[in-house]
Chain A
Amino acid sequence: MHRRTFLSLGAALAAITAAGFPEEVLAKKGGTLVVGLQSEELPLKPESARSRFYTRADVCDTLVQLDRDMILQPGLATSWERISKETWRFKLREGVTFHDGTAFDAASVKNALEKITALMPYAAGLLQLKEVRVIDPLTVEVETLAPFASLPNQLTDAVTVIHGAASFDANGKFVKPIGTAAWKFVEYIPQDRTILERFDGYWGETKAAFERVEFVLIPDDQTRVIALETGEIDILIDVPRGDITRIEATEGLQVISAPISGVNYGAFNCAEGRPLSDRRLRLALNYLIDRELVVKAALDGFGRPAWQFFAPGYRWLPQNVTPYRHDPEEAAKLFTEAGYTKVDGKWGKDGEPLVLNVQAYHNGTGNGFIAEAMVALFKREGIDATLNAGTYDGMVEFAKRGDYDIAVQYWTAEMTADPDLHLTSQFKSDAGMNWQSWKNERFDALVDKGRTLDRGTEWDAVYTEVQQILQDDAPIIPLSHAIFVNAFRSELKGLVIHPARLYNLKAVTA
């Protein structure tokens, strides 16, 4: 017997006798933490979607970070100040190295931000960069196209992570993530798994306990649960709602859940000629649907009934907005005002029954079930509706063609602890993702103004009014604010839920 094998066997034995069964399981995996996911992490495609892999999985760092109370904290930048209306100055962290051994400095920030904004229209819209200037090796100035107060918040978004120079090829194409954070990217096997390795040169205080992390794609909900129960995976992300109470009661397994940034809502097609071009009808639907029932039916209660776009209770957002309420009488009144009558229990106008075309898609947040519950409640209240739920791309296709009345979707609305991102990318009349044909000039003007203002009374006033316009003009029907539910093997310690859905696996120990 080789000496090494003997030693490792001895170590394994010692581990078993010291802590019993759990250690044995982990020892077998060689200190690998296996995480089961419903949808794939795409480490090689920052441009494919708003890939949050880099920060979720702690491969790359952003300049600014958000703590669990959604307060800005130093990341790769240790401090920042607004030196003019358009310019922010960032002081950078010393002694940080990339996974490939190169040093992190002001030039890396300039390179990464320029490359990523050139690569992705989304990043360009997010940051509004005009110029990134290297002042000295540890100071950069970022100038934006227009006054932009929420830049530090935007720089917490996963697409703004600072990739090493070798992450891009000579043509500026993204090759692979080379970050500065706790885990090194090792391999991505399409439709199967993403493998990470601990980075021993990580600058942060929390050093990862495990040697490796594998993110395994298991799209089917029941298969993912069984994988946890049989020990194939250690952590289950997005527990299927129907299994939560059962897993909680299972010995050796634990469930962790908390509210996070995210809202499932139905976007109304406000285009001319569609029934929901009438504001009264949009409001009526908002009063008609009991969100408590939606959350109960679709998510077994593991969601927060949504009566407004941004979830209530965030300290960084003005709270004096009038939420919707369940009020069928008010809804009936609005229907009548809009010229609708109820014949044989069905709402209709001029002898034509109202039929709503609902498009949705399935994801880990139960988006498809939420749409189904909403449609079921419509039917109960006398509104006929058809539902098509496939993929996100499928829904976008219908939405872009305008061939829908309600598109049920999920967005992480509060992700950067700033309202600007989603208001400008989803609701502004010229926004790329505004397929709703909703246009409100006052809203557009306020949103444009809001992003130039520093936080304070004026900022509060602007965003109070903005939120109230969303309530009053009703381009959407908010349905559920997200609750993130994960399960794990009880021997793991240190799992927390971050409102921006960061897994923070570096803090997990066995």
Chain B
Amino acid sequence: MQSDLTQVRPYGDTLGDGAMQLSFTLPVPIGPEAIEAGKQLLEKMGFQAVSVVHVADMGEGFTFFVAYAKCPISIDFTAIQVPQAATAFLDFDATNEFIRQHIGRRLVVVGACIGSDAHTVGLDAIMNMKGYAGEPGLERYPMLEVHNLGSQVQSEELVAKARELEADVILVSQVVTQKDVHILNLTQLVEILEAEGLREKVLLICGGPRISHELALELGYDAGFGAGTLPPQVASFIAQEFSQRNK
């Protein structure tokens, strides 16, 4: 059984069946009309063989749906191109050694969760001494001088701090967002850095579960790291990219 990579569909239990699992809420009271509305909505989206398997009354005229359906659309996997931060992976020791040899001084890294975000989980996983999943965080790197400003830092404040500390690298994290406020926050930071004439002087990196490298580049960042990133991936990017740019 060979998958045709030019026509990839979701896989339920048979190759090419296009089966998908969906859940959502409609602001309508539960009943036969609600079930029909859920079904028609999915059909309008192009789904076929729609089966609403569960509905629940959530009160105040809201209904919860679980549905299965077949997706008739396919994707040409062979044509996919995803930009990724193009630097080699170096481990802890190699990164420190690289900075020592190629830059010859400690790099100053300033990090923060900007805007409304109070979730420092991602930032801490990358920056804190303890790190994440057994990988030490940036604070542990002798060749990095790390300042973790914590959560809910306003962009203006972050930029002022970066200037004061003569930052080489700015890391921003956006974890929990509402109504795409993370895009707004990230854009605003770039604008302030540009207005202050600092944008070209720093490596600007963002991270978070809804961040991709592609999105980061689009927003004017030098790199973006998504869910599951480990500290050494960020550290080795910082070392090599900074050296590359300051040759």
Asked whether A and B interact, the reply is: no
